[in-house]
Every structure is written in C-alpha cells, then in structure tokens.
C-alpha cells in the first residue's frame, strides 16, 4: 500500500523546478493548480519588458491538459465545445470554450489537433468528470495528461530567433499551427501560441526532457535577452492582449454559488467562437435563446484615467448607478495607459458616462478616486510581429 | 403512403391514449408498435387498478370490446396451513378469516385514512406536474385546491399525512396492525413493481399513488377484463383505430430522426424511414433519450441525468401451464392469491436482490385466469408476478433457473401437488422483460416510481411536462408523471400538453 503522505507536500513541483528555483532570486512563489509557481523572479518591470522587447520563458506545466483520442474525437469535441473542432486541421490550434446545459461557461482553453483522431485540450480548471460524462455515446477516450507533459511558453520578439539558434526551424510555422521536432531521446512539439499577445511559442515535451530543454533555450538565448518570468509579469501582458482567465474574469459554472454570477460566452464577448451551424452542442439551445433575447451582461475593455490600476473597481454610470465591475486591471507599461477588463451591464456596454471607483492605498489610508472610463476595443496591444511569417529576426 | 403529422412510438396504454386524444383533435396519427400485437405493458400486468377515467370515457372502451370479468376482485392472503385471510371489496373493505377484533378495527381506521390521503393526491394524476422553474405556468388554482383539500382533512389527518408521507410501509403497518398475513399482503401491494422493500424509506408514497387509482368508480378496487389485461390493450387499440389512428405492428423503431436540431420522424429497424414533424414516444424516457435520440443530440448534463435515472426492475413474471386447477388449500381460485407470509417475508425477499442474488422464498401475486374463463381442452394456466428478482445478476441464466425453482417450491408449499400438474413453466426475469417490452432494467413503471422520481422530477427535471428536449419530441410514457400501471394518464396528459402548446 502506498503511504498517504501528500499532506507533506501541499504544493507539487514542476519538472522545471530545479531551474526555476535556482533563478528565483526573490523567492516569490504562488500556487497555480497545486503547483509551486514563480510569481516573480527578480524584477517585475524587467520581466514584463522582456516579454515586449526580448524573450521570456514561463513554466506552463501546471496548466491542465487532457488527451482526447478516438475515431469520434472530433464529434465529441464538437458536442462538448462551442467552436467547430472538426474544422481544425491536423497540426492546428484553436481557442475555444465549453458550457453546461444552461449555457453557462465552465472554462475556456486551447485545443490542439495532434493527429486525425487525437486532440489535446488545455485549460485552467479541472474538468475530468464533465469531460467523461460528455463522452457517453462517443467512441472516444479521455485522459488527463497534465503530469505527462512538460511545457514552457517562450514569448517575446526574439523568441523565434532563440528557437532558430537552439536548432529548430520554425520559419514556416504560422500562428495557431504546431510542428514536431526530435529532441534528445524524445520529441518536442512547438506550437505558435501563447498568452502574451506577442510573437511567441509554446514548447511541449516529456518531463524527462524538461531540464535539457530549459538549458538548450537559455544557451541559445544568451545574447537575446532571454529570462524567466513569473505569473505577475504574464498577467500584465495578458491584460494588454485582452485575454481572460477563468476564475479571474468569470466564475466557472460548476463552482459558482450565486445564480447571478453565472456567465455565458455571449456575456463574455465570446460570441465569435460559437458555431451555430455545426449541429448540436451542449448549451446550444440556451445560448441561442440568450442570443435572441439579448444578454444582460457584456464584457469590455476599458481605458481609465489616471495611473492607479483599477483592480476590482466598481463601475458606475454617471457616478451614481452601479453598472459593472473590473475583473482585471493594470498600468500598461507598453501603452502608458491605465487599462482594465470589466463585466458591465449590456445597456452600458457602449461606454457613455462610465466611471470607475478606485481605492488608492496611500501610506495606510485609502483615497477614493472616481475616474472616467472609456470602452475601447480589445486587444489593447497587438503588434504586427505577432502574426508575421516568417517571424522577424529581432 | 399517407402522410402523418404525428408518429407515436409504442402501442401501449399511454401511446394509444395519446393517439386517440390527438386524433379526436384532427391530428393524422401513426402508431408504431414493435410487437406483433398492440397493448404494450398492459399484457405484462394482471389487473386494472388505475385506468384513467378520462381515457376510459373518451375512448368508450366498452364499445370496442372491453368487458369486465370482475370489477372488484377479492384477494386471498394465503397461508400454507389453509388458514387464509380474505380481503374483500376494494383494498380489503371486509376481512374474512381468523383475525383479532383489534386488527379488524385498526385496519378499518388505517384503510379509511389511507384512502382519504390517496384521494387528496388523486387529482395530481390528471394534470401535468408542476414545475419549480420561474414562469412555468403552473395551474396554481388546481394546485391550491389540492393543498386546501389536504388541509381540510382536519388538523389530525393533515398532521398524520405529513408524518407518513415519507416514511416506510413496514413502520406504518407495524404501528397499527399485528396479523402477519394482513401486514404481508399490504406490504406486498405497497411494493409491487417497485425497487424497494417495506422497510425502504419513502415506500408509503408510491403506495398512496397506487391507492389513488380506481376501478369503475371504486377507489382501490381491482378489475379483471375478460381475456385478461391484454384485452384492455386490444380495446384501446380498436378505439384508437376507430378514431382514425393508423396502427402498424411489428414495426420496431431504431431511432428518432433528428436533423437541424428538430425531430423529423423515425427510422425503423430495417432502414425504412417515416417522416412526421411530431414524434411522441411512449417508450421509457431513458430509452427514448439515450437509445432513440442519442447523446449527440442532447446536452451533456441531460444525458448524464438520463443515465442516472433509476430504472431497476424487481418483479418477474411466471407462467405455468397446468393439467388441472390447483388447490391452494381451499382458497377461492377466482381470487387474487398472494403469497406473502408477513411484512418480513416481503423484506426478506427483497434483501438478496439488492446484491444481485435471487430470494429463496419469493413473494407473489397469483392469478388463475382459467378459473374465470375455462380454456379449451380443460387446460389451466397460472400467472404470477413474483417479487423480488435481480435485474442484473452476474449469471442471468443461472438466476432465472434459481428463481423458477424457488417459485415452484413456494407454490408447492401453498398448493401441494401443483408441481405434478405443471406441464410447462416459464419465467420472465427483469432482463427478459427489458428485452421483450423495452422497459429499461425491466422496470414496470418505465423508471422507478420513487419519491425522488415523481412530479417535477419525473422523468427528469426540466422535461417533466411531456415536452421533450428536442423540438417536435414529446414524452408520453409511464416513465413520465403520474407513472405506471395501465392508466393511459401520462399519454392523455401529454396529449393535453401538446394541445396547449399549439
């Protein structure tokens, strides 16, 4: 019998931990899905600057990964998710989401089509019971493979050059495509995907190759400003890119207690993902009803006056009526603007006369600021280098 | 080939009741039946106890060949030593046999109370179940009347109804009665067709549902049609056909055609496709959703709930062909005969079944149809509904053989010499009933009639008002409210719901 000693290690370590531990000069750690995750390595500003100016490595191992495999994998995913998984060609990646019967969001994530009948679904939350329940009636096998995969995000303008120097020919790799390479005794999959909205890649291998991969990248990136980043720098970059995070920007339906906090893809600005013509999928009837009747909530990007991040700020119309809440905010170092993502009542989603109530903590006293907020298009920041193929040689 | 606007799957009581009602309102209805003859689950049952008066009246069944052999059949609770207890009149209105005065008085009071309670609940059978969802359009006035009538029972009765509603049959009987034959007979009736023993919590409410039925205007009475219950199904089929319904037997539906997220008809085994914009399934909801519609046309949560719907059959059907009429120690062979020595005997017969085994001493309801209507050549036959039988034993064939042997032992103990009279014996285990009648798990109510699967929870939350989860699909099965028996209520209610939907 295996002795139960899990309580001795409430946080697990990822396969890259020997390297992240050595690099973490601030000893700043957080919990991401039960794993020890660096929040910041040495300097938040420098880490974010590297995402936008050189290249960065972020340990993706805690991201939840599922293998979906079988002759009916595409049919299964089409019933599970709101987007059309059958249209995704082999070697492609799509951003997608899935909902419950009532059309309320369970999670969003990225779907990789590895072969005709094999997909990988990556997401923030754990969903195995839902995925297995959804598999009833489909010739498909579902397995969690989070621990079988070691993954790194390599992001930033010089990331392509770092990969070239590391010996991987990625010049032909377009955004949302993936390629396979031999690496050491195993394989390395490189996808042109990421969570920064910049030129960047995600690298996928087995845990036994993890440290070799890390070392190869840092050797190759020595003269290209490669540095490890923590979750704090990534959070700023993802806000600039306008990306949402489950639990931060919406509460997933399976853990949501308050009925009025449930959100649908229509309400989270994800309507563009929904394929209304692909046939039935879970939640479709509820979503089409909501589409026809109009959703009560909308999800928007905001620019807010001043330079105090509006994290958690309540939004008001005409400084009086409460109309929404900021779910994520930062001072954008790239844009030199105060930006935010927010849930807002649909009738105010056009953004006239919206104000954010910000509490600025100044030497132990809060100062309440009522700052004007303007609804703007997302993403806030989307450089041309993100999509250029072949990628530029920075 | 004429075109139809409604296809009904299954020519059982509910399918035929729905077909008749829809046809009277001008619908062009095709009923498809997998078996060679109509009747469905009617042929499985012994007696009529809850035929819906609306159905009986509208279908004018007596004009279509339905005759009653008996409309108020007596029950004899058998004792191996011949000391039987006879329950005469509806639900043992009079008891004859060796019984204490205390038990007679106690039963008189308990019986009257149970029938009062059941009568209060009876109107629920004739309406769609209320829903909890906002704006469900519940018939608040009718619901209010039921609540008012319950309250008007008086404080003592109202309190007692609340006390017993979710309790168990064993405790209820044990509080009032002492005679084991009487308690055994009542415990048997209370659990008939269910997946529960007398000591199972909530076993009283399904019994009250059973007692809410009526026969020829007599609450709780048992009726025996001439030619058996199958004749009731036949009469319903004739009535439906007379109304212009097209009935096609030996037409097993393989799947319901769903295109563009709405129903377009059905495909038969063999490939033939029949198109209609409305499909009404009187097949069990679990089978309809998971088998005929299929998960890929349904939301995942609903599919899971359908998979988890409880449908465990605990009753087997025994048929013996006999050279002569058996003698159950002097019992009237025209009675409904019960072998259920005590409430504990009923519970003991349920215990092994929970673990997939067969009971050593099953309890049973016996009918000797040839005692009413002699068969050609002086042959006799015995039909019994035997409880309890496992619905998924590890070795189905071995379990069937064990069950049959146990039944024959029980019969021999109560009618010595019956074994020598038997020419053939056949027993349908729950899994045989599933194969033959399409009832999932061989469950007689097409889904257990238990508290957690009643009213707005029947068959499943969200689809309790007969409208299916796919456009054009309607559910009209015993698996819907108000449940099983040979009532036609669910089919009739479903037809009313379709009319209300326009």
The per-residue b/e assignment along B461-481, b for 16 or more CB within 10 angstroms, e otherwise, is ebbbbbbbbbebbbbbbbbbb
- Of B290, B297, B301, which is closest to A101 when you measure between CB atoms? B301
Q: Residue B253: how many CB atoms within 10 A of its CB?
A: 25
Residue B75 lies in a domain: no
Q: Which residues of A touch B295 (CB under 8 A)?
A: 79, 136-138
Give chain A's end-to-end CA distance (angstroms, integer). Answer: 55
Mean pLDDT along residues B182-208: 96
How far does the CA of residue A79 sit from the closest CA of chain B (Å)? 6
Q: What is the pLDDT of residues B222-262, one digit of tens each?
A: 999 999 999 999 999 999 999 999 999 999 999 999 999 99
B297 contacts in A (CB within 8 Å)?
280
Closest residue to B295, CB basis, from A136, A279, A285:
A136
Nearest to A79 among B261, B296, B307 (CB): B296
Phi and psi torsions of B334, nearest 5°: -85, -10
- Per-residue pLDDT tens over the stretch B94-129: 999 999 999 999 999 999 999 999 999 999 999 999
CB spacing of A282 vs B290 below 8 angstroms: no
pLDDT given at position A5: 86
Distance from the A77 Cα atom to the nearest Cα atom in chain B, whole angstroms: 11
Subunit contact A283:B299, Cβ cutoff 8 A: yes
State which CATH number among 3.90.245.10, 3.40.50.970, 3.20.20.150, 3.30.1360.120 fits the domain covering A6-61+149-229. Answer: 3.30.1360.120
Taking CB atoms and an 8 Å limit, are A137 and B296 in contact across chains? Answer: yes
Question: Which of residues B180, B204, B221 is at a domain's end?
Answer: B221
pLDDT at B406 over 60: yes
pLDDT beyond 70 at A137: yes
Mean pLDDT over each residue of chain B, to the nearest integer: 96
Measured between beta carbons, which residues in chain B are less than 8 angstroms from residue A80? 300
Q: Is residue B79 assigned to a domain?
A: no
Q: Residue A1 — very low, low, confident or very high, per pLDDT cuts 50/70/90? A: low
Please provide the size of chain A in residues: 394
Is it the case that residue B310 has pLDDT exceeding 80?
Answer: yes
To 5 degrees, how large is the angle CA B3–CA B7–CA B11? 130
Interface check for B178 against chain A (CB to CB < 8 A): the answer is: no
Q: Map residue A136 onto helix, strand or coil.
A: coil
Q: A-chain residues within 8 Å CB-CB of B304? A: 133, 136
**Given this model, what pLDDT does residue B41 score?**
87
The 3-state DSSP class for residue A351 equals coil
The reply to whether B457 falls in a domain is: yes
Same-domain pairing of B160 and B186 = yes
Q: Is residue B78 part of a domain?
A: no
Residue of A nearest to B293 (CA): A137
Q: How far is A114 from A69, CA to CA, in rounded Å?
A: 10
What is the domain-level CATH number for residue B295? 3.50.50.60
Q: How far apart are CA B499 and CA B490, in angstroms?
A: 14
Average pLDDT over residues B198-215: 95
The predicted pLDDT at position B1 comes to 53
Are B277 and B5 contacting, i.e. CB atoms less than 8 angstroms apart? yes
My answer on whether B58 and B140 are in the same domain is: no
| Distance between A286 CA and the closest CA of chain B, angstroms | 10
Query: Which of B198, B221, B244 is the last residue before a domain boundary?
Result: B221
B34, B105: one domain? no
**Ranges for all domains in chain A classified under CATH 3.30.1360.120:** 6-61+149-229
- What is the rounded distance in angstroms from the CA atom of residue A178 to the CA atom of residue A190? 5
Interface of B with A in 286-315 (CB under 8 A): 290, 294-304, 307
Query: What are the residue ranges of helices labelled H in chain A?
Result: 17-23, 44-53, 73-80, 128-134, 159-165, 210-220, 231-241, 284-293
B290, B297, B301 ranked by CB distance to A280: nearest = B297
B411 lies in the same domain as B468 = no
For helices B169-176 and B101-121, angle between their N-to-C axes, nearest 10 degrees = 140
Reply yes or no: is the peptide bond before residue A390 cis, omega within 30 of 0.
yes
Whether B233 and B295 map to the same domain: the answer is: yes
Model pLDDT for residues A279-302, shown as the tens digit of each residue: 999 999 999 999 999 999 999 999
Judging contacts by C-beta atoms under 8 Å, the chain A residues touching residue B296 are: 75, 79, 137-138, 279-280
Q: Test B299 with A282 for CB contact under 8 angstroms.
A: yes
Phi, psi angle pair for A17, to nearest 5°? -55, -40
Task: Give the C-alpha separation, B39 to B122, whole Å.
Answer: 25
B interface test, pick of A280, A284, A288 with most B CB neighbours within 10 Å: A280
CA distances from B375 to B317, B366, B372 (A): 20, 17, 9
**Percent of chain B as helix, strand, coil, to the nearest 5:** 40, 20, 40
| Ramachandran sector of residue A228 (left: φ over 0; alpha: ψ -120 to 50; beta: rest) | beta
* Shortest Cα distance, chain A CAs vs residue B461, angstroms: 12
pLDDT tens per residue across span B441-485? 999 999 999 999 999 999 999 999 999 999 999 999 999 999 988
| Interface test with chain A among B287, B294, B300, by most A beta carbons within 10 Å | B300
pLDDT tens digits, B4-16: 999 999 999 999 9
Measured on CA atoms in the order B472, B476, B477, B480, is the torsion positive or negative? positive
The predicted-structure confidence for A148-201, as pLDDT tens digits, reads as follows 999 999 999 999 999 999 999 999 999 999 999 999 999 999 999 999 999 999
Kindly report, as residue ranges, where domains of CATH 3.30.70.1400 are found in chain A: 64-147
B297 and B398 part of one domain: no
Chain A residue nearest residue B301, CA to CA? A101
Closest chain A C-alpha to B232 CA, distance in angstroms: 38
- Cα distance between residue A208 and residue B77, in whole Å: 74
In chain A, residues with a C-beta closer than 8 Å to the C-beta of B261 are: 279-280, 284-285
Residues B300 and B329 in one domain: no
Q: What is the pLDDT of residues B133-183, one digit of tens each?
A: 777 778 889 999 999 999 999 999 999 999 999 999 999 999 999 999 999
Quote helix, strand, coil % in chain A, to nearest 5. 25, 35, 40
Based on the domain organization, do B280 and B372 belong to the same domain? no
- Identify the residue whose tokens are 């005679």: B179
Q: Looking at the structure, tell me whether residues B28 and B63 fall in a common domain.
A: yes
Contact B261 A130 (CB under 8 A): no
Contacts of A136 in chain B (CB under 8 A): 295, 303-304, 307
CA pair distance B491, B236, nearest whole angstrom: 12
The angle at the Cα of B267, spanning B264 to B271, to the nearest 5 degrees, equals: 140
Minimum mean pLDDT among A95-104, B21-30, B252-261, B372-381: which range?
B372-381
Strands B29-32 and B6-9: what pairing? parallel
Cβ pair A133:B300 closer than 8 A? yes
Q: Is the ipTM of this complex over 0.85?
A: yes
* β-sheet bridge partners, residue B442: none
In terms of CA atoms, which chain A residue is nearest residue B294? Answer: A137
Closest CA to B480 of B257, B309, B272: B309
Look up residue B145 and give its DSSP letter. Answer: H
Q: Which residues of A touch B (CB under 8 A)?
A: 75, 79-80, 100-101, 130, 133-134, 136-138, 279-280, 282-285
Distance (Å) from the alpha carbon of B291 to chain A's nearest alpha carbon: 10
> Pick from B186, B201, B221: which residue ends a domain?
B221
Q: How far is B465 from chain A (nearest CA, A)?
A: 18
Domain match, B184 and B270 both: no
**B window 236-275, beta carbon within 8 A of A:** 258, 261
Residue A238 exposure: Cα atoms within 13 Å on the Cβ side: 19
Minimal C-alpha gap between B399 and chain A (Å): 29
Q: For residue range A236-256, what is the model confidence (pLDDT) as tens digits?
A: 999 999 999 999 999 999 999
3-class state of residue B115 by DSSP: helix
Give the per-residue pLDDT at B377. 86
Cα–Cα distance measured from residue B157 to residue B152, given in angstroms and rounded to the nearest whole number: 9
Domain count within chain B: 3
Q: Model confidence at A206, in pLDDT bands (50, 70, 90)?
A: very high
Strands, E assignment, B209-277: 214-215, 218-219, 224-225, 246-248, 253-259, 262-268, 273-275
Dihedral sign of CA atoms A257, A261, A265, A266 in order: positive
The yes-or-no verdict on residue A2 having pLDDT over 90 is no
How close is the nearest chain A Cα to the Cα of B18, in Å?
A: 27
Residue B411 inside a domain? The answer is yes
User: Chain A contacts of B469, Cβ < 8 Å?
Assistant: 285
pLDDT tens, position by position, A307-349:
999 999 999 999 999 999 999 999 999 999 999 999 999 999 9
B307 Cα to chain A: minimum distance (Å): 9
Distance CA A59, CA A66 (A): 18
On whether the A64-147 domain is CATH 3.60.120.10, my answer is no
With 60 as the cut, is the pLDDT of residue A83 above it?
yes
Q: Check residue B496 and give its pLDDT.
A: 97
Q: Determine contact, residues A311/A283, Cβ cutoff 8 Å.
A: no
Give the pLDDT confidence of B422-442 residue by residue, as tens digits: 999 999 999 999 999 989 999
State the DSSP string of B297-357. GS-HHHHHHHHHS-----EEEEEEEESS---STT--TTSEEEE--SHHHHHHHHTGGGGT-
Nearby residues of A74 by Cβ (< 8 Å), 6 or more positions away: A85, A86, A117, A119
What average pLDDT score do residues A73-80 get? 98
- Per the domain annotation, does B247 fall within a domain? yes
In this predicted structure, what is the pLDDT of residue B2? 63
Instruction: Give per-residue burial for B151-179: e unless 16+ CB within 10 Å, then b.
Output: eebeeebeeebeebeeebbbbbbeebbeb
How remote is the C-alpha of B377 from its chain's centroid?
32
The count of CB pairs under 8 A between chains A and B is 47
Please judge whether B299 and A101 are an interchain contact, meaning their C-beta atoms are less than 8 angstroms apart. Answer: yes
Asked if the Cβ–Cβ distance from A280 to B290 is below 8 Å, we say no
Chain A residues in contact with B299 (beta carbon < 8 A): 100-101, 282-285
| A213, A185 Cβ separation under 8 angstroms | no
Q: Are A394 and A159 in contact (CB under 8 A)?
A: no
* Token code pair at residue B196: 């529960």
Q: Which CATH superfamily hosts domain A259-376?
A: Aminomethyltransferase beta-barrel domains (2.40.30.110)
Closest by CA to A302, choosing from A339, A352, A346, A249, is A339
User: Across the interface, which of B258, B301, B307 has its CB nearest the CB of A100?
Assistant: B301
User: Chain A partners of B303 at a C-beta cutoff of 8 Å?
Assistant: 133-134, 136-137
Query: Which residue segment(s) compose the domain that B193 sits in?
Result: 89-221
- My answer on whether B424 and B302 are in the same domain is no
pLDDT at A8 over 90: no
- Tokens (6 digits) for A221: 């990136």
**What is the pairing mode between strands B218-219 and B214-215?**
antiparallel
Q: Is residue B84 part of a domain?
A: no
> Partners of A372 in the beta sheet?
A355
- Within 8 A of B307 by CB-CB distance, chain A residues are 136
Which regions of chain A carry the CATH code 2.40.30.110? 259-376
Query: What residue in A sits closest to B307 (Cα-Cα)?
Result: A136
B295 contacts A280? CB cut-off 8 A: no
């Amino acid at each position: 019998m295996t002795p139960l000693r899990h309580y001795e290690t409430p946080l697990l370590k990822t396969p890259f931990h020997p390297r992240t531990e050595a690099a973490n000069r601030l000893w700043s750690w957080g919990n991401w899905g039960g794993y020890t995750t660096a929040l910041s390595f040495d300097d938040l500003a420098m880490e974010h600057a590297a995402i936008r100016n050189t290249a960065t490595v972020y340990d993706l191992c805690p991201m939840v990964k599922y293998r979906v495999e079988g002759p009916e994998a595409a049919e299964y995913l089409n019933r599970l998710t709101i987007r059309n998984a059958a249209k995704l060609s082999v070697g492609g990646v799509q951003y997608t989401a899935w909902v419950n019967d009532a059309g309320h969001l369970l999670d969003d994530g990225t779907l990789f089509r590895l072969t005709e009948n094999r997909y990988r679904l990556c997401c923030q939350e754990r969903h195995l019971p839902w995925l297995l329940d959804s598999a009833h009636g489909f010739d498909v096998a579902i397995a969690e493979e989070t621990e079988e995969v070691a993954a790194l995000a390599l992001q930033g303008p010089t990331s392509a050059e770092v990969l070239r120097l590391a010996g991987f020919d990625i010049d032909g790799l377009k955004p949302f495509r993936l390629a396979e390479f031999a690496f050491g005794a195993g394989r390395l999959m490189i996808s042109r995907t990421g969570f920064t909205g910049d030129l960047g890649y995600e690298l996928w291998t087995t845990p036994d190759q993890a440290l070799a991969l890390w070392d190869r990248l840092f050797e190759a990136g020595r003269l290209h400003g490669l540095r490890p980043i923590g979750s704090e720098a990534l959070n700023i970059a993802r806000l600039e890119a306008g990306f949402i995070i489950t639990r931060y920007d919406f509460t997933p339906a399976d853990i949501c207690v308050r009925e009025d906090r449930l959100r649908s893809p229509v309400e989270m600005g994800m309507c563009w993902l929904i394929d209304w013509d692909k046939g039935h999928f879970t939640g479709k009837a509820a979503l089409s009803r909501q589409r026809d009747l109009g959703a009560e909530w909308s999800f928007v990007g905001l620019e807010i006056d001043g330079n105090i991040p509006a994290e958690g700020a309540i939004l008001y119309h005409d400084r009086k009526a409460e109309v929404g809440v900021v779910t994520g905010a930062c001072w954008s170092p790239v844009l030199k603007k105060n930006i935010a993502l927010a849930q807002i009542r649909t009738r105010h989603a056009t953004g006239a006369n919206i104000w954010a109530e910000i509490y600025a903590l100044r030497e132990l006293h809060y100062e309440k600021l009522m700052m004007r907020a303007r609804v703007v298009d997302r993403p806030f920041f989307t450089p041309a280098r993100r999509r250029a193929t072949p990628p530029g040689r920075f | 080939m004429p075109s139809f606007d409604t296809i009904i799957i299954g020519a059982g009581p509910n399918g035929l009741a729905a077909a008749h009602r829809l046809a009277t309102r001008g619908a062009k209805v095709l009923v498809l039946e997998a078996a060679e003859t109509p009747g469905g689950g009617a042929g499985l049952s012994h007696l009529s106890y809850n035929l819906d008066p609306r159905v009986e009246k509208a279908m004018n069944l007596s004009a279509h060949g339905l005759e009653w052999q008996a409309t108020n059949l007596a029950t004899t609770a058998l004792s191996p030593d011949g000391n039987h207890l006879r329950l005469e009149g509806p639900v043992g209105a009079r008891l004859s046999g060796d019984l204490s005065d205390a038990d007679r008085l106690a039963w008189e009071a308990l019986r009257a109370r149970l029938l009062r309670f059941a009568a209060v609940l009876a109107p629920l059978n004739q309406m769609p179940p209320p829903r909890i969802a906002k704006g469900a359009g519940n018939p608040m006035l009718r619901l209010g009347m039921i609540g008012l009538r319950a309250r008007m029972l008086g404080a003592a009765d109202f309190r007692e109804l609340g006390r017993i509603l979710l309790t168990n049959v064993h405790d209820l009987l044990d509080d009032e009665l002492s005679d084991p034959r009487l308690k055994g007979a009542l415990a048997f009736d209370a659990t008939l067709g269910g997946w529960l023993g007398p000591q199972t919590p909530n076993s009283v409410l399904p019994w009250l549902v059973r007692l809410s039925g009526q026969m020829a205007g007599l609450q709780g009475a048992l009726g025996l049609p001439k030619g058996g219950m199958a004749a009731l199904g036949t009469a319903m089929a004739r009535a439906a056909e007379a109304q212009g319904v097209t009935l096609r037997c030996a037409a097993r539906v393989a799947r319901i055609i769903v295109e563009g997220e709405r129903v377009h008809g059905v495909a038969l085994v063999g490939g033939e496709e029949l198109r209609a914009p409305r499909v009404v399934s009187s097949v069990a909801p679990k089978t309809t959703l998971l088998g005929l519609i299929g998960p890929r046309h349904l939301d995942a949560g609903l599919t899971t709930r359908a998979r988890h719907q409880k449908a465990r059959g605990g009753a087997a059907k025994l048929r013996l062909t006999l050279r002569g009429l058996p003698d159950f120690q002097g019992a009237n062979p025209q009675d409904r005969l019960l072998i259920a020595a005590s409430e504990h005997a009923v519970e003991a017969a349920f215990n092994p079944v929970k673990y997939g085994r067969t009971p050593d001493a099953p309890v049973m309801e016996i009918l000797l149809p040839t005692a009413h209507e002699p068969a050609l050549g002086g042959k006799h036959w015995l039909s019994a509904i035997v409880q309890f039988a496992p619905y998924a034993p590890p070795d189905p064939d071995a379990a069937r053989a064990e069950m049959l042997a146990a039944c024959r032992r029980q019969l021999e103990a109560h009618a010595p010499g019956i074994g020598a009279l038997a020419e053939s014996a056949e027993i349908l285990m729950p899994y045989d009933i599933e194969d033959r009648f399409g009832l999932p798990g061989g469950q007689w109510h097409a889904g257990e009639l238990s508290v957690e699967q009643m009213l707005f929870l029947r068959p499943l939350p969200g689809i309790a008002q007969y409208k299916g989860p796919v456009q054009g699909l309607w559910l009209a099965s015993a698996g819907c409210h108000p449940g099983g028996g040979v009532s036609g209520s669910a089919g009739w209610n479903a037809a009313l719901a379709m009319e209300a939907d326009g």
